Amino acid sequence: MSSNWEMVIGLEVHAQLKTSSKLFSSSPNQFGSEPNENVNFIDSGMPGMLPVMNFGCIEMAIKTGYALNFKINKHSVFERKNYFYPDLPQGYQISQFEFPILSEGYINIESGDNQKKIRIERAHLEQDAGKSIHDIDPKYSFIDLNRVGTPLLEIVSYPDLSSADEVINYMSSLRQLLMYIDVCDGNMQEGSLRADVNLSVRKKGQELGTRCEIKNLNSFKFIKQAIEYEFQRQINIIDGGGEIEQNTMLFDTSTGETRAMRSKEFSHDYRYFPDPDLLPVNLSQEQIDKIKPLVGELPQDKLNKYLDNYSLDKDIAKIIIAEKQNANLFEKMISESTVKPKFIAAWLVGDIFAFIKENNLEVNSLNDKTKDITDLLRLISDDVISNKAGKEILPKVLNGQGKPSELVKELGLEQVSDSGELEKIIDEALVGEDENILKFQGGSDRVLGYFVGKCLKATKGKGNPKLINKILLERLKK
């Protein structure tokens, strides 16, 4: 029975930093260019070329340090990690080993109904490698070096995660934070954020088992599948009397299985040593302090603000803070109008997000429509038009087909909120309803709905339902 088993997982997440240029060269750091377009002589490992540190990468690492509660190290050292592969023309990856720029951080994630603190051992700067394409030619590999030298921040957690769901929560919290502080675009499909999963199994309460590392997972779906498969694979081996060999595994996305990747016979020896081309990074406290204000509000700060100052429901607040652009749009609308934040939030996560999804838009694309949106919401909350009319007009406003007040007139959707006029209509509607009036006074609430419906119909749907309700109650109680 697998229920006696538990999994122990640590994650190594590689986040591509969204700088303009590469870590040690001024080539463009850009996805999707023509092959070998963004490569210079440093990237291609030509002899005699010297790497020069991009300070933008240090800034982003420090921002990440603040956001993930790290100790930001004033002293860090770049070392060479030696290995041979065609998409690594230098013959070594420049990385930080003994002295990383960030150490001992943590984030809190959701685990069931509780919060769980996930400790992060370290984060260090390093170069990405190029890309090998193996499936064009049966005998040859095609190499594109555009990605060579792209700055990566590798974020290494402690083995504090104990289920696939926790891993997903950890990974999405990281992604959210990195996107909030604007250091990573979070695009997993393009490889901007990739995870290596270290997984071992043990009977509950026992010592840690031998771990296997599943390399290079670039979607939440694959991470979950790979963890579930690898968990069962290790249990089966142990249950069958075998032992787990420490291995590097690949996840085959077509079969949903993991398999050993590197030859088991010989382990790699990376022969790390400090890169003689690069002096140590020595930062002053002043340099570090300067970057703190650039971190800005983090998701948790926004959540607290939305709950405390705007009294949003937690579920709605969470949807808004999920992505920074949602929160930006929401806060822009609040700053530009006097409509209640709670009212704006309800429309935002309801009809406005539905519109964005239906039309496959970016949330950002509505940033220049916020004034029109809040004008419309004003009309609804002031009862100038009904909720239903608001829903009808909203897509037109979002499509830029007109100003809300003009659209209301054009479509004749203005509500009748003139109590004199409504009283007349109600009095007419109550003629000949003596029997139902008695029923209501006898305690049948259902009759009220019937009357409201009748009155609304008499106004051709334009009567203000709240007002009709109010006047009706006054009349009926007489």
Partner 1 sequence: MSDIDIKRISYLAKLKLPPEKEEFYSNSLKDIIKWVDNLKKVDTSKTEPLHNVTEKTVSIRNDEVSKSNSVDDILRNAPERAQNFFKVPKVVE
Burial of 416 (0-12, 13-18, 19+ CB in 10 A): middle
Distance CA 179, CA 445 (A): 52
Of 13, 15, 58, 319, which one interacts with partner 1 (CB under 8 A)? 58
Maximum pairwise Cα distance, the chain: 101
Question: Does residue 57 interact with partner 1 by CB under 8 A?
Answer: yes
Does 142 engage in binding with partner 1 (CB under 8 A)? yes
| Window contacting partner 1 (CB under 8 A); options: 142-150, 183-191, 325-333, 350-358 | 142-150
Cα 307 from Cα 319, distance rounded (Å): 13
Tokens of 233: 């694979």
Q: Which residue in this structure is represented by tokens 């303009």?
A: 20
How far apart CA 358 and CA 95 sit, in angstroms, is: 44
User: How many angstroms separate the CA atoms of 341 and 355, rounded?
Assistant: 20
Choice from 11, 15, 39, 107 touching partner 1 (CB under 8 A): 39
User: Residue holding tokens 């092959």?
Assistant: 35
Contacts of 33 (CB under 8 A, 6+ apart): 146
Which amino acid would we find at residue 364?
N
CB of 278 to partner 1, least distance (A): 6
Q: Which of 144, 166, 230, 372 binds partner 1 (CB under 8 A)?
A: 144
Q: Which of residues 226-285 bind partner 1 (CB under 8 A)?
A: 261-262, 265-266, 268-269, 274, 276, 278-283
- Interface with partner 1 (CB under 8 A), residue from 112, 140, 338, 412: 140
Contact pick of 2, 4, 20, 206 for partner 1 (by CB under 8 A) = 20
Tell me the closest approach of the beta carbon of residue 134 to partner 1, in angstroms.
6
Interface pattern 78-117 for partner 1 (x via CB under 8 A)? x-----xxx-------------------------------
Backbone torsions φ then ψ of 248, nearest 5 degrees: -100, 125
The rounded distance, in Å, linking the Cα atoms of 14 and 22 is 15
Q: Does 15 bind partner 1 (CB under 8 A)?
A: no
Of 55 and 236, the one with the shorter C-beta distance to partner 1 is 55
Q: Based on CB atoms, which residue is closest to partner 1, 283 or 411? A: 283
In the complex, minimum distance from the CB of residue 103 to partner 1, in angstroms, rounded to a whole number: 18
Distance CA 141, CA 135 (A): 8
Interface region with partner 1, contact rule CB under 8 A, candidates 131-139, 162-170, 325-333, 368-376: 131-139
In the complex, least distance from residue 86 CB atom to partner 1, rounded to whole angstroms: 5
User: Closest CB to partner 1 among 113 and 266?
Assistant: 266
Nearest residue to 249 via CA among 210, 192, 206: 210
Burial category of 179 from C-beta neighbours within 10 Å (exposed 0-12, middle 13-18, buried 19 and up): buried
Decide if residue 36 touches partner 1 (CB under 8 A): yes
Interface residue with partner 1, options 40, 325, 417, 419 (CB under 8 A): 40
Length reported for the chain: 478
DSSP characters for 378-421? HHHHTTSS-HHHHHHHHHHHHTT---HHHHHHHTT---B--HHH
Interface region with partner 1, contact rule CB under 8 A, candidates 14-22, 175-183, 235-243, 333-341: 14-22
Nearer CB in complex with partner 1: 145/320: 145
Nearer to partner 1, 141 or 444 (CB): 141
- Rank residues 269 and 308 by Cβ distance to partner 1 and give the closer one: 269
Size of the site for partner 1 (CB under 8 A): 55
Q: Which two tokens stand for residue 237?
A: 């081996």
Q: Within 211-262, where are the H helices?
A: 220-239
Q: Quick one: which segment of 48-56, 359-367, 411-419, 468-476 binds partner 1 (CB under 8 A)?
A: 48-56
Q: Does 41 bind partner 1 (CB under 8 A)?
A: yes
Phi, psi values for residue 277, rounded to 5°: -80, -15
At residue 269, the 3 state secondary structure works out as coil
Residue 278 or 346: which CB sits closer to partner 1? 278
Q: Is 30 helix (H, G, I), strand (E, B) or coil?
A: coil
> Is residue 34 near partner 1 by the rule CB under 8 A?
yes
Binding stretches for partner 1 (CB under 8 A): 19-21, 26-29, 34-37, 39-41, 44, 46, 52-58, 77-78, 84-86, 132-134, 136-145, 261-262, 265-266, 268-269, 274, 276, 278-283
